[in-house]
Amino acid sequence: MEVNLKEYPITRYQGSKRKIIRWMSQVLTGLDLKYETVLDGFGGTGTVSYLFKKLGKTVTYNDLLKFNHIIGKGLIENDYDLLSENDLVNLTNYISERKIVERNFQGIFYLDDENQWIDNLTEGITELFGDQQHKQALAYYALFQACLIKRPFNLFHRKNLSLRTNDVVRNFGNKTSWEKPFDSLFKQFSDEANSLVFSNNKMCNSLNSHILDLDEYGYDLVYLDPPYFNLKSGHETSNYHKCYHFLEGLSKYSEWEGLINQDTLIKRLDDHNDINQLTKANISEKMEELLYKFRNSIVVVSYKEGGVPSIEEIVAMFEKLGKKVFSESIHYKYALNHQNGDAANNREVLIIGV
């Protein structure tokens, strides 16, 4: 099936594979693999799950972060529910009592009136759609996209509202998007969310689990796109908890305040004890565990050159399990890495163990 990229929403997320899904689809089709059930174990934006859903597969989306899991609910699990005009009116008129963003995030990521807007809308989403999880997920999707597009670099790892407010000449970012009002962005992304909903007549679902805690049976094909750790440098953007803690907080709105580490400048969620985090120190061992766990499935690993473990090590792990290994690669230029000057390393690789 020919992939029409216009049917896949623009993503604003570290490591999103939207830019290579057409190629991925060609590679998988070319190998003539026989599979019906798919696990997308590190789902992120859901763009790869969406590809498999379009291909007519029974898709299980999974991500450790709750805000991503919610996106998976809205776009992958949801077959029919849509946001109506009336829903949008009710949401945008809701007034928050908790005011968590207003009280905790002044001057950090957004302007004061924007913080109030985020509180109102988020509390509205949780209160008005408590028993309609797919509608709630679509509204959250629109909220997350609106929050991301208004952030320099689409990230929350720095207290850098001043990049938006300082009157200086910029050679990066998109001042026009940053300054668009939340109301109109929310409407724009609600329409986008609605346009993405479809049924492929299969039972797709969205999970929110540490990948190693998932059931190993039931998936003909497992797609693994773990956080990328560069052998030579320590990119803090591989720390998804840190980069997107604000969206994670919104997804846990009623309990958020008690989870904030008030000693951090960016008011991070306290996740010091999160034993499920993948790090440069444990990723090789965890990768081997993962490949062993899903040894009865076809496993497709997305990777880049220069990472830990190396591509050769991953191939060796597959071979140790008696798998036949195929590997394909394509060159890709990333906007952010390009600025960092290591664009030459940006070769996206698919390692497939059958």
Q: Where does this chain bind ligand SAM (CB under 6 A)? A: 13, 15-17, 42, 44-45, 47-48, 62-65, 68, 210-211, 225-227, 240, 276, 278
For ligand SAM, the closer of residues 13 and 105 by Cβ is 13
For ligand SAM, the closer of residues 75 and 317 by Cβ is 75
For ligand SAM, the closer of residues 121 and 287 by Cβ is 287
Shortest distance (Å) from residue 116 CB to ligand SAM: 28
For ligand SAM, the closer of residues 73 and 96 by Cβ is 73
User: Quick one: which of 1, 11, 2 has its CA closest to 196?
Assistant: 11
* Helix, strand, coil fractions of the chain, as percent rounded to 5: 45, 10, 40
Shortest distance (Å) from residue 332 CB to ligand SAM: 13
Cα gap 154→141, rounded to integer Å: 15
* Count of C-beta atoms within a 10 Å radius of residue 347: 14
Cα gap 122→125, rounded to integer Å: 5
Contact between 53 and 61 (Cβ < 8 Å) = no
For ligand SAM, the closer of residues 240 and 294 by Cβ is 240
Shortest distance (Å) from residue 68 CB to ligand SAM: 5
Q: Is 122 helix (H, G, I), strand (E, B) or coil?
A: helix
Cα gap 278→281, rounded to integer Å: 8
Q: Which residue is nearest to ligand SAM (CB)?
A: 44
Measured in whole angstroms, the distance separating CA 86 from the mean position of its chain's CA atoms is 28
Shortest distance (Å) from residue 282 CB to ligand SAM: 10
For ligand SAM, the closer of residues 17 and 120 by Cβ is 17
Shortest distance (Å) from residue 290 CB to ligand SAM: 9
Cα gap 76→198, rounded to integer Å: 9
For ligand SAM, the closer of residues 17 and 57 by Cβ is 17
Phi, psi of 25 (to 5 degrees): -60, -40
Shortest distance (Å) from residue 15 CB to ligand SAM: 3
- Paired with 260 in beta bridges are 269
Shortest distance (Å) from residue 207 CB to ligand SAM: 9
User: Quick one: which of 205, 228, 238, 224 has its CA closest to 292?
Assistant: 224
Place of tokens 């009280």: 103
Shortest distance (Å) from residue 64 CB to ligand SAM: 4
The token pair that represents 96 in the structure block: 């928050």
Q: In the chain, count of helices (H) and strands (E)?
A: 16, 7
Residues 157-184 as b or e (16 or more Cβ within 10 Å = b): bbebbebbeeeeeeeeeeeeebeeebee
For ligand SAM, the closer of residues 63 and 87 by Cβ is 63
